[in-house]
Structure formats: structure tokens, C-alpha cells
Structure 1
Amino acid sequence: MENHGGRSSGARSRRTQAERDAITVEIGYALCSAAFAAALLFGAVVGPVFAFGLAGGARHTLVASGATAAAVLFVARVVSVLVRFGRGAGSHGSQPSQPGRTSPDS
């Protein structure tokens, strides 16, 4: 049964524990940094509501704008961090399997 499980993954190789740990850390970093950036943006946009005691339509507009901008920033930050990590991880796979070996031309 173990061979069948290995073959079902196709051409994809199994990830090592270090690779899985790196992915977990990167996802955590992406989520935390995105939440921090979104909170800062939301606070910057909604801050005048509390600083100047705005009410009515201006309050609603600023809160809605801040929430929308924060949500967009959150998604954009998570995607950019994970895409950058994916590109970096992909380049490691193209390295020679034996460090220190070079081609005869070098």
C-alpha cells in the first residue's frame, strides 16, 4: 500500500519536514504582517472619526472606506508574500543535488 500512496502523487515529490515548516512559518508571517498592515490602514482612515467626533454620513463613509481598503490590503499582502515565497522555493529546486559540483565549463 505504501508504494501506491507514493505513486498517486504523480511527478510531485514529497516535501521534507523542513519545507513544511518553512511553508507554515511563511503563511504565519503573511497573515500576521497583513493583519498588522490592514489594522494600521484602517486606523489611519477611521481615526478622524474618533479624533474629530464625526457623525452621520461622514462617519459611515470613513468606516466603510477604511474597512474596504483594509480588506483589499490584507488580501494583497498575503498574496504577495506567498507568491514571493513560492518563487523563491521554486528556484531552490533547480539547484544541483550535490553541492559543490559544477559543470566542466565553469
Structure 2
Amino acid sequence: MGARTQAQRDETTVEIGYALFSAVFAAAVVFGAVAGPKLMFAMPYAVERGLLLAAVAAAALVLPLRVVTVLRRFSRGTARRGLPDQPSQPGRTSPDS
């Protein structure tokens, strides 16, 4: 692999930042969705504790999953860069079609 240009390094940095930011946001949403009932309803201590632990576990699962998904999609996109999405042959249509 050759040396990368500054634009390619900047693009990678922005994509990593986006992956981390969106992962933190998604983890916070999941945490809030799972732990939210704890704030809205009166529950026994064991149930509240269980919801809190489930929320932490779900957020801990979502965060790296989102980072990996975003960065994998980015790497697939950069690997195909330079190649056309479709063949560069002009399509010929007959007057009857």
C-alpha cells in the first residue's frame, strides 16, 4: 500500500470521529431505553438494579458494535474507490425496446 495523501488521512480521521460519536449516542439511547422505566415507575430494588445492569450491558454491546459497523462500511467504500459502480460501457438500446 502506498503513502496516503493528507486528504485520505483527514477522511479517515473524520470517519473514526463519526464512528465514535455515533456509537456513544447509540449506546446512550439504548441505555436510556432500558433504564428509563427505573425512573418512571416505583419498582423493587432488585428490579431497579437488574434494569441498570441490563442497560449497562446493552450499551456496552452496542458501542463497539456500532464502531465496527461504521468503520467496516467505510473500509469497504474506500476499497472500491476508483472502480466504477457499473461497467463503463455505454448501453445500447434498440429502437424497438
For this structure pair, what is the TM-score category when the shorter chain's length is used for normalisation?
Answer: 0.7 to 0.9
**Counterpart for residue 30 of structure 1:** 19
* Unaligned segments of structure 2, at least 5 residues: 90-97
**Counterpart for residue 9 of structure 1:** none
Identity percentage of aligned residues: 49
Q: How many residues align?
A: 86
The AA in structure 1 aligned to 2:4 is: R
Residues 46 and 66, structure 1, Cα contact 8 Å, conserved in 2: yes
The TM-score normalised by the length of structure 2 is 0.81
1:42 aligned onto 2:40: no
1:53-92 matches, within 5 Å, as: 53-92=42-81
The AA in structure 1 aligned to 2:65 is: A
SS in 2 for 1:31: helix
* Deviation (angstroms), 1:55: 3.8
**Counterpart for residue 92 of structure 2:** none
* Deviation (angstroms), 1:86: 0.3
Root-mean-square deviation (Å)? 1.7
The 2-side partners of 1:52 and 1:31 are apart by 32
* Unaligned segments of structure 1, at least 5 residues: 1-11, 97-101
Instruction: Give structure 1 regions of 4+ aligned residues with deviation exceeding 4 angstroms.
Output: none
SS in 1 for 2:81: helix
The 2-side partners of 1:58 and 1:22 are apart by 45
The TM-score normalised by the length of structure 1 is 0.75
The 1-side partners of 2:51 and 2:2 are apart by 49
